[in-house]
Structure formats: C-alpha cells, structure tokens
Chain A
Amino acid sequence: MSVIQAVYFDGKTSARHPVTLLASGGRIKVVGADVGLEFDARLVRRSLRIGDTPRWLYLPGGGACVTNDNAAIDRITRDKRYEKLLHRWESRPHYAAAAVLLVVAMLWLLIDRGVPAAVERIAEHMPVEAEATLGRQTLQSLDERLMQPSQLPASRQAALRDKFADLAAKAGNTSPYRLEFRHTYLGANAFALPAGIIVLTDGLVDLAKTDDEILGVLAHELGHVRGRHTLRRLLEGSATALIIAGVTGDIASTTSLAAAAPALLLQTHYSRDNEREADAFAVQAMKSAQIDPAYFARILVRLEAIGRRGPGIPSFISTHPETAERAALARAASDQGSRPLARGEHVDFTGFWKANCEQLYGIQLKPAAKPGLYSVSLCGPAGCFDSGTHRPATTVQGDPSYAVLSAEEILVRETSGRDTSYVKCDSSVMPEIADK
C-alpha cells in the first residue's frame, strides 16, 4: 500500500483540503479531516510528469488531488511508454545535450536538404500565372522603392535587346525571358526576378567597355532564369523563415528576429550553387555565340572593384562566389585565357593604370632587369613604390603575372591567385609617372 500526502480540491469551491491518499488493490482512497472518498484506480486520470512540477490526479466527479510526491504517483499508476521516454529525456542533462546536437542536425538537414527538395517540387508544380504575378509584383515594388525608368536612348536599348536575343537563340535557350532597363542609384547591377524578368541597370551599361561584356552578364542572368533560381530562393527564404518561426515561436517577436539572423547566413549557401550554374551557362552561351568568355571575366572583376563603394542590392553582393574564382572560370574557358598570363612577353605600358580611376593609387608595370620578368609598382601622390615596400589600398604581393585584356585594361594576378583589373585612366590628379 502506498501512502501519499496531497491536497484535495472538490472542483465546486476553491477550498483546500489536506488529505492522505491510500492506494492498494486497484482502489484509491482520499482521506482527510472532512473528506472520505474512494475510487476505482482505473477511473482516476493522472497528469503527465513534467520535471518536478506538482502532479494532479483527476477524480471522477470533478474533484482533483495535487501532490509534490511525483515518485509515489509513478509507483501507484502505470507509465505509458512514451511518457516514460519523455520524462527520461527531459530529466537527464546528457540526454538534453544529445537533444541539442540532434536538433542542430535536424535543423541543418531540414534547411539544407529538406527545404531545397521541397522547393524543387513546389517550383515544378507552381502555376505559370502564379510565378508571373510574383515577378510582376517584385518588379513593381522595386520600381516603387529603388528604380526609375532607364535613361538609355530607345535605340540603344533595342540594340542590346537584339544582341541578347541573338545570343540566347544561338545558345539554344527556350526559356521565356523579358529584358527590362532601369536606372537606379544602386549603381551597376543586373538581376533576375521570377517569371524570367531580367533587370539591367544603366550603371552596368555605363561600366561595360564593350557590349560583349554586357552580354556576358545578361547570359549569366539568363542562366538564373533557366534554373528559376530567384523563385527558388524566394520559396526557400519563406520556408526557412517559417521553420525558424516555428522553432522560436514561444517568445515575443522582439527577440525572434535576432534568432533568425543565422538562417540568413544559411540562405547564401545554396545561392552559390545557383551562381556557379549561371556562370557555367554564361560561358557556354557566349562560346555558342562566338563571344570570348573572357569579356564576362573582365566585367566581373570590374564590378567587384566598384562593389567596394556605395550600397548595392545586398543579395547581389554577398551571395556571389568570390569574383576571382568566377573570373578565373570564365577566363579558363576563353580561347586566349592562358596566353597573356604567361610571362615573358615584352610589352611597354604607358600612362596611368588603376583598379579604378577614381581611386587614389595607381599601378606601374615595367619590365624588370632580368628578361621576361615584370615588376609591379604602386604609385601614389609621392611617386611609385616597389611592391613589398609599400602597400596602400591596393595590395600586390610577390611578383605578379599579368594579362592584357585590351588596350585599356590589364589584369594582374598576384601570386596568391587574386586578380585585379586595372584600367587606363585618361585624366589623372596624380603626377605623371615616367615609364622606362
């Protein structure tokens, strides 16, 4: 027989009755100063054990007993298996530690594997109208907040449209797309929206030295369109947000925003795969159209150089893979990719070369005393410095190799593998450096 100290409430008033519970032979007796009740133990419902919180026995007829003696209640009533399991997990610290690891693993699986797989299926079955609406709305909200109509002449727009249509046709593209020209203070940019909308900013058209560079960027965005990457990312973003909201759902919204931040970091991960896919398509499309993929590499390097200044659309900047890696990929695909990078050529560079004509420091490349080698010097207002002795904003380490991309642009590859593109500046606030 078990004897348990408890408190009885009759469910009719709030009066408190200290009682003793006696359990034996399938019967439970509730005995106190003014209480004397007996019940069939099978009709008594009992609350689940959670930590060391008080335990309730719900009696037939609306009364209830509460006690702190959790162990005794476990003795007189049968545990359901899942209840035992739950309590065991919750009461042991090392089980909780295991649960932490499992939760992290599950979340990772869910977000890294489950979400893209689910999104894949949703994207496949998503009605065309739904995607069209989404694309239209996204463009509309960007137009309201960030973009104005393009300032390019209609003839220039038409020319670019035709060239791009030609490239898309030669690349065997069958995905419908729509090219939109916009002006924005966000500067040089291009991005794909759902439903095949490709937005090209005036800034990017201005930045490009040739139309082939623009075509490279557009081919990259067409790669996104073909893979419906933007739609997927939007879906993935909402699905991840939903999961995070579900996990953190029991705290005020003031703080759940903070918990969602790490999820944004995860977001950038799958978009990198998308970028590689789009890059691969751009290279292939350019080759099909007999355009040297090196043009794509050149504008990428230039985009990165200006990306350091001024705000850009965050997704465009932070989720793209390292520019050096991408440019190298495009250049490797180029027919002339490896040739200029080989050393030993004698080229005289004159004029002032800089990563960006608005930047203070420039670069001087000159043949070294040893034939076939070049040294790269950094130039500032005070003159030129040999590499290794002075490193302003532009860093060049070791003895770099270089590639002549055009009469106006040299690509310098440092020994670390980092590429920087230098352009020839027409006007300069810097003193003219005499070339040897």
Chain B
Amino acid sequence: MGAVQGGAAAVAAGERAVRPEFTGTASEYFRVWIVNLFFTLVTLGIYSAWAKVRKRRYLYGCTRLDGESFDYFASPKAVLRGRIVAVAIFVAYALAGELYPPSQFAFWGIGALALPWLLVKALSFNARNSAYRGLRFNFDATPRQAARVYLGMGIVVVLTAGLALPWFVARQKAFVASHHAFGTSGFRCELPARSFYGIYILAGLMALAFAVPGAALSGYLVYLQMRGGINLPQSLGWLMWVLPFVPIYAGYAIAYAYAQARTANLFWSHVQGEGVRFASTLSAWSLIKLYFGNLFAIAGTAGMLIPWAVVRTLRYRLDNFSMIVAGTPVYAGNPNLAPVGAASQELGDFFNVDVGV
C-alpha cells in the first residue's frame, strides 16, 4: 500500500485508505509478452489462449491491494474453446455477408437478442475466474435483467436519437457494478445520470473544437491542391488523404480520454461494498498525455512497446485508485459458483462488445 497522495478521497475517522500497488516492471512484462507472442505465432494462434491467461495472470499477480495480490485462473482450454466458437461465428458472419448480404441483418438481429446473455456470461466468466484473498468474485445478474438494461434502455437511446445516451451509460455502469460481488458480499452502485450529461456534453464540445477547424483546414488544403497550388511529389500524395483525419482523430482521442477519466472517477465514488468504498482520482489531462505517449511509442516501434504501454497505463490507473475500508471487514466466500464457459467473453472480444467497466 502506497502512501496516501494528494487528491485522494477524504477519509473519515475509523477508515483507512488503501492504495493498490503494481509490483511488476515493463521489462518483465515485455519478456512475458514477446515469448508468448512467439509461441502464439508458431502455433498459428492456438497458443493465444494460453498466452492470454498467462499475461493476465502476470498483471493480476503484480497488482497488490492491502498486501495481497489478485489471482486469475481461467482455464486456457476454456478460452481456446471460446475463441474457436467466436472465430467460427465470425467466419460464418463474414461469408454469409459476402454471399448473401441481407443475412448480415439477421446476424445483427440475433446478435442484439443474444447480447444480454452474452454480456452476462462474459462478465460471469471474468468475475468467477478472478480471486482475491482466496475468494472468487461473482457476477450474478440474469440475462433477463441484462436485457431490461441493454435492450430496453438501449431502445430509449435510439428513440431519443442518442439524447438519452449519458443516462443509458450511467444505468449500464450501475447495473454492472451492483451485480458484482466479492465472495457473497455484493457491491452497490447508484449513479446520477445528471453528472454523466455534464461530462458527455463537455467531451462532445472538446471533440468539435478540434474536428471543425481541423476539417476546415484540411478541406482548404485539398482544395488548394486540386487547384494546383501545392505540388506534392507523388511519393507524398497519401499525405492529402491522411491529413484531414489527424485533427478529427486527435479531437476524438482527447474527448475520449476526458470522458474516460471523469466517468471513472464518478463511477468509483458511487460504488460501495460491505465496509468498503472506493475513490478514483484520474486526471483527464494525464490520461490524454498517457494515450498520446502510448500511441506514438507503439506506432514508432511497430508495436514493440505495447507491453510498456499496458504496464504504464495500468500503473497510472492503480496509482489513482483507492479503497477506503472501515475497520477490518472479513468476507465470506460463495461456495456454489458453477464454472462458466468462455465462449461469450471471446465472442465479445471478437465483435468488440464493450462491457463497460
């Protein structure tokens, strides 16, 4: 547990703030990453399931909270089975889409209906395979409850042309958090939608502030070039295609980092467990710098600095997280946790379903 730094949440009498610690190093994670990547390539991807579990075990094992590390024990075989199912469905989706395009609508339809079930299974798989102090986490929502939030409230977002999106995000985050449990002790979370509106409106304005002048400038450049005002050599012709997207992309990244920092802080300050609450002090500006640093480091080294970026991001997040404990609570384990298949989590990874915590 690190020393309490400035910006941490206020701690009342009888409470103590516990800050997580990351004991790993980027160079050690790099070695794990590169060796596992090598085996993944040699086995044409089959080993990727083992690699995924191993990398996550490393990151969990290096994360210490109140002196104890986290444990992750997903079975690589379950992950592999999940990946095979995910790849099979993806290939079927892609092939059917090529041969008979309307079939993609059917796929999306089925996908939307299966989404609640998928999310519940993915979150359960992840929670039940994560442990702390010898106790597993749990996610206990039913697909029906998830459907009410994701489909029911999702339809409201569509009907209001996106105006209800911040409200939806608040409800969805609260739903995910309040159905998680450590052992038998559940977490509670109620999020005020109003604060999410403030964050999203500001993030939207930030994105526009960059994208509009940027798009105008690059539009002008393209116009100039078409008039023959700029004579770019042939080898640099692609610049005219890339340039317009730079400010739009930068604006999006800044808005994204801002929204991430603010929503994470808001989210954690509203999560409570038995005798425990949380605080997050992410700064939007630090997160922006972190993301851009990662972007340039990864692009400049053709991906070789990915492990460094992962460790650096995780460390920053942990440094700005604290758990505030009242007394010394003892939690009970949940003896009736049935194992969950990994297919839904892998499907989620494949189709990029964001489970949003």
Contact = CB atoms under 8 A, between A and B. Distances in A.
Interface of A: 7, 9-16, 47-48, 50-54, 56, 62-64, 66, 86, 89-93, 95-96, 99-100, 102-103, 106-107, 110, 127, 129-130, 133-134, 137, 185, 246-251, 253-256, 258-259, 261-262, 304, 307-312, 314, 317-318, 358, 393
Interface stretch (B10-18, B30-38, B151-159, B191-199): B30-38
B274 to A, nearest CB: 11
B298 A14 contact: no
Contacts of B241: 311, 314
B303 interface: yes
Nearest to B241: A314
Given A14-B331, A308-B233, A317-B237, A52 B35 contact: no
Contacts of B42: 106
A134 B295 CA distance: 34
Nearest to B56: A250
B37 A14 contact: no
A89 B38 CA distance: 11
A48 to B, nearest CB: 7
Contact of A96 (B35, B48, B52, B352): B35
Given A89-B35, A259-B306, A307 B234 contact: yes
A52 B99 CA distance: 51
Contacts of A249: 349
B291 A254 contact: yes
Contacts of A100: 34, 304
A62 B52 CA distance: 25
A13 B298 contact: no
A137 B165 CA distance: 33
A126 B296 CA distance: 39
A304 B237 CA distance: 12
A257 B330 CA distance: 45
Given A96-B35, A130-B98, A251-B306, A258 B40 contact: no
B101 A133 contact: yes
Interface stretch (B113-121, B220-228, B315-323): B220-228
Interface string B126-156: 0000001111000000000000000000000
Contacts, number: 193
Given A133-B98, A262-B302, A13 B332 contact: yes
A251 to B, nearest CB: 5
Contacts of B30: 96
A13 B24 contact: no
A45 to B, nearest CB: 10
Nearest to A318: B238
B261 interface: no
From A89, A103, A110, A262, name the one whose CB has the most chain B CB atoms within 10 angstroms: A103
Interface string B286-304: 0000010011101100111
A381 to B, nearest CB: 17
B253 interface: yes
Given A11-B135, A258-B299, A311-B241, 9 more contacts: A9-B135, A10-B134, A14-B329, A90-B32, A95-B35, A99-B35, A251-B306, A255-B298, A311-B222
B41 interface: yes
A13 B35 contact: no
B226 A54 contact: no
B160 interface: no
Contact of A308 (B98, B232, B253, B302): B232
9 smallest CB-CB distances across A and B, nearest first, come from A9-B134, A53-B61, A258-B299, A259-B303, A96-B31, A14-B331, A106-B41, A14-B133, A89-B35
Given A13-B332, A14-B183, A259-B303, A246 B40 contact: yes
B54 interface: yes
Contacts of A102: 38
A310 B58 contact: no
Nearest to A126: B98
A318 B236 CA distance: 9
A246 to B, nearest CB: 6
Contact of B235 (A14, A256, A310, A318): A318
Contact of A54 (B39, B69, B73): B69
A103 B306 contact: no
25 contacts: A9-B135, A12-B332, A13-B183, A13-B330, A13-B331, A14-B183, A14-B329, A14-B333, A16-B68, A51-B28, A53-B57, A64-B71, A66-B68, A66-B69, A93-B31, A99-B38, A100-B34, A103-B37, A130-B95, A247-B37, A253-B352, A307-B234, A307-B237, A309-B228, A311-B222
B28 A52 contact: yes
Interface in B39-94: 39-42, 45, 48, 52, 54-55, 57-58, 61-62, 68-69, 71, 73
Interface in B318-357: 329-333, 335, 349, 352
Contacts of B101: 133, 137
B217 interface: no
B256 interface: yes
Contacts of A308: 231-234, 237
A310 B226 contact: yes
Contacts of A393: 231
Contacts of B32: 50-51, 90
A46 B256 CA distance: 41
A152 B185 CA distance: 75
A318 B235 CA distance: 7
B338 to A, nearest CB: 15
B240 interface: yes
Contacts of A50: 32, 54, 57-58, 61
B309 interface: yes
Interface string B265-298: 0000000000000000000000000010011101
A130 B38 contact: no
Contacts of B235: 318
A69 B119 CA distance: 38
B58 A254 contact: no
Contact of B240 (A16, A107, A130, A311): A311
A267 B30 CA distance: 27
A296 to B, nearest CB: 19
A103 B33 CA distance: 11
Contacts of B232: 308
Contacts of A107: 41
